[in-house]
Amino acid sequence: MSVFSHPAYDNHEEVAFYHDAKSGLKAIIAVHNTNLGPSLGGCRMWPYADDSEALNDVLRLSRGMTYKSAMAGLKLGGGKSVIIGDPRKEKTPELLRAMGDFLNTLGGRYITAEDSGTSVADMKIIGERTEFVSGVTAGQEHGGDPSPSTAYGVFVGLKAAVAHRWGRTDLNGLKVSIQGVGNVGFRLAKLLKDAGAELFVTDIFQDNIDRAVNELGATAVTADEIFDLDVDLFAPCALGAILNDNTIERLKVGAIAGAANNQLAEERHAAALREKGILYAPDYVINAGGIIDVYYQQLGDYNPEQVKAHIESIGTTMQEVFQRADETGETTAHVADRIAEERFGHKDTLNGADSAAA
């Protein structure tokens, strides 16, 4: 199958493949849309089952970044990169430097940052070979790491979902199941714990589960059991496509609000959630805290209070999406898509980035 006929291809501007035999690097960069600015999105390293799975992931993720930046009011386009390999076994400085060489071939049309399987330290090594790296600002509270901002944005959006679904402003006693307690999921779990929520967690790595249980008092469940829990809210914070025909049928929650990208396996699954009475917080709206943080790092004048205020606007955006969906009878996913497409549909479209960056 060619890229152009791939089901996840969505008029992407550029898809580049790279292999460096010396370091073993096999990577793909996808640039979806640059109408509002250069594409920016994280570099994911993952042990994909095959090349086809990696291509599908990078196409879907890059498209999501276009929508995410547009909804967050940023002068950025959407792009993503994936490295095929196990980050716990195959990541080397040589491989990361080769990734920097790969980035240079796109001439700045794509800027990378950390993502699943990569870290700020990795971005600094990639940065030895290229200037097209973000999320490494020393003046940022966490040394450039956008994960805390992503988690905080999800927390803000989750509270908006709780307010809309149950009409309550507190989270005390709320039962939340979290799929994935890595960099973002664990931080979200801590915010929820501090707000009085009861946590149920799972992860593909046992050490992540153990940390959540020992430090946050969470209840551990199996990877499959997470979909059958009788809880209030489900927070997917791992990989995508986990809301599908099988899992939606099993869910007993009232709302879904999590950090994972591309949570819906197919667009039609948004309607399936609505039919079950489950409020869905569109992933690229609620998880935009990290890209907002990285955007301000790119500006070169990082103001923590300004960044926090912009991230907190995610709650207002979520409220708008929920309200418009109620008024029109559309799914929240469709409403969010229409708003985003209005913003990035044409070059030089003006949005909230002008006032936010002022």
Q: Is 341 helix (H, G, I), strand (E, B) or coil?
A: helix
CB atoms within 10 A of CB 159: 22
3-state secondary structure of 110: strand
DSSP codes joined into one string, 193-204 = HHTT-EEEEE-S
The label of the residue with tokens 């999501």 reads 64
Catalytic residue flag (residue 80): yes
CA 37/CA 348 separation, integer angstroms: 8
User: For residues 44 and 80, is the Cβ–Cβ distance under 8 A?
Assistant: yes
144 vs 262: CA distance, rounded Å: 24
Q: Quote the tokens at residue 300.
A: 């070169």
Residue with tokens 């496509």: 241
Catalytic-labelled residue, pool 26, 80, 91, 193: 80
Interior/surface letters 134-153, b for 16+ CB within 10 angstroms, e for the rest: bbbbeebeeebbbbbbbbbb
Neighbours of 209 (CB within 10 A): 18
Task: Give the separation between CA 190 and CA 213, rounded to whole angstroms.
Answer: 11
Both tokens of residue 220? 């551990």
Counting other chains too, the contacts that 350-354 makes at CB distance below 8 Å and 24 or more residues apart are: 351/36, 351/70, 351/73, 351/74, 351/75, 352/73, 353/36, 353/73, 353/74, 353/75, 353/295, 354/75
Active site residue ranges: 80
